[in-house]
Amino acid sequence: MPAIRRRLKTGTGLSWGTSMLFVLPALVLFAVFVLYPLLTALSYSFFSWRGIVRDDFVGLENYVTVFTQLPYKDEVGNAFAHNFLLFIGAMVFQNTIGLLIATLLHRIGRMKRFFQTIYTLPYLVSPLVIGYLWSLMLSPLFGPVNALLKAIGLGDLAQPWLGNPSTAIWVVVLVTAWQWIGFPILMYGAALGGIAEEIDEAASLDGATSWQRFRSITLPLLVPAIGTVSILTFIGAMESFPIPYALGGSTGSPAGATDVMSLLFYRTAFESGSTNAIGVSSAIAMLLFLVIFGVAVLMRWLLDTRERKMF
Which of 46, 72, 80, 119 forms a contact with another protein (CB under 8 A)? 119
Chain positions 83 to 102 lying near another protein, rule: CB under 8 A, are: 97, 100-101
Chain positions 67 to 86 lying near another protein, rule: CB under 8 A, are: none
Q: Which residues of 158-167 are buried (b: 16+ CB within 10 A; e: fewer)?
A: eeebbeeeeb
Chain centre to alpha carbon of residue 211: 30
Q: Please report, as a single letter, which amino acid is at residue 295.
A: V
CB of 29 to another protein, least distance (A): 4
**Coil, strand or helix at 259:** coil
Selected range binding another protein among 72-80, 111-119, 156-164, 214-222, rule: CB under 8 A? 111-119
Told to check if 9 binds another protein by CB under 8 A, we report yes
Chain centre to alpha carbon of residue 235: 4
Chain centre to alpha carbon of residue 298: 16
Chain positions 200 to 259 lying near another protein, rule: CB under 8 A, are: 201, 204, 225, 228, 232, 235, 238-239, 241-242, 245-246
Told to check if 303 binds another protein by CB under 8 A, we report no
Chain positions 275 to 294 lying near another protein, rule: CB under 8 A, are: 278, 281-282, 285-286, 288-289, 292-293
Q: For residue 286, give the nearest of 117, 137, 66, 121 by alpha carbon.
A: 66
Chain positions 14 to 53 lying near another protein, rule: CB under 8 A, are: 14-16, 18-20, 22-23, 25-27, 29-30, 32-38, 40-41, 44, 52
CA–CA dist 77, 83 (Å, integer): 10
Give the contact letters, 140-179, x = binds to another protein (CB under 8 A), - = no: -xxxx-xxx--x--------------------------x-
Which of 3, 70, 109, 207 forms a contact with another protein (CB under 8 A)? 109
CA–CA dist 59, 46 (Å, integer): 5
**Coil, strand or helix at 111:** coil
Please tell me the count of residues contacting another protein according to CB under 8 A.
Answer: 101
DSSP string, 8-46: HHHHHSPPHHHHHHHHHHHHHHHIIIIIHHHHHHHHHTT
Told to check if 60 binds another protein by CB under 8 A, we report no
Greatest Cα pair distance in the chain: 84
